[in-house]
Structure formats: C-alpha cells, structure tokens
Amino acid sequence: MSKSSRQVKKAKLADHGGGLEGPSGRFWTQLIEPKGAALLSQTLGPCYFVIKNHGPGNIWLVAHHGDLMDVRAGHVRATFARGTITVENRGEKSVLIEFEFLPIYLKP
C-alpha cells in the first residue's frame, strides 16, 4: 500500500465519527423562527416520521397519533404519525430541522 493510499484511508476514518455538521440534503428542511411554529402536515396518512433538530435550542414535536415531546438540539426522533404534525420553537434563536416521511405499506 502506498503512502498516499494510507493517507486517504486515514482521512475517511477521521471524518466518519465527526457527526453531521449541517443538513444532509436527503430530507426536507425547515427553519423555525424564535417563538414560532411549523405545520409540517395536516391530513397525512399513516407513516413513520423522522426528525433531527440541528439546534441550537430544543423543539416541541406534536405528532397526531404519535409523540408529544421535546427534541433536544443534535438529537433525532422517529415516531409513528397520522394526521397533523407540528413543531414549535420555544427558544430565543432560530432552529433548523430536517425531517422525512416514510410511508407504511399495508397489505390488502
């Protein structure tokens, strides 16, 4: 193995554990203003809902038929949801969230 090959491998390994610095581009994103809220769905069919809070403060997740909870900055939450999903920012700074809807395929 050449020296340059070892350097490339080390760079990839060093980057792997660093975590996500910002939105990944694979999910929907939403910036929520201070003391604001975002209505993410209103008549949603049954699905799994995944949300990541990029911070800097906590958000309040309200998923109809799912979770009602705080999601701390840097944390991810997956829950069942149907109907209305809202996210509230109760903090003094804007919060960036990433989210995704994953359909549940029911057998006929």
The token pair that represents 14 in the structure block: 């060093």
pLDDT in single tens digits along all 108 residues of the chain: 555 444 443 333 333 333 445 555 568 999 999 999 999 999 888 899 999 999 999 999 998 888 889 999 999 999 999 899 999 999 999 999 999 999 888 777
Q: How far are the Cα atoms of 36, 52, 54, 99 from residue 29, in angstroms, in the given order?
A: 15, 9, 10, 6
- pLDDT at position 67, please? 80
Q: How far are the Cα atoms of 52, 59, 106 from residue 46, in angstroms, in the given order?
A: 20, 23, 10
- pLDDT at position 13, please? 34
β-strands 59-63, 76-89 pairing:
antiparallel
CATH 3.60.9.10 fits 23-103, yes or no: no
* Domains of the chain, residue spans: 23-103
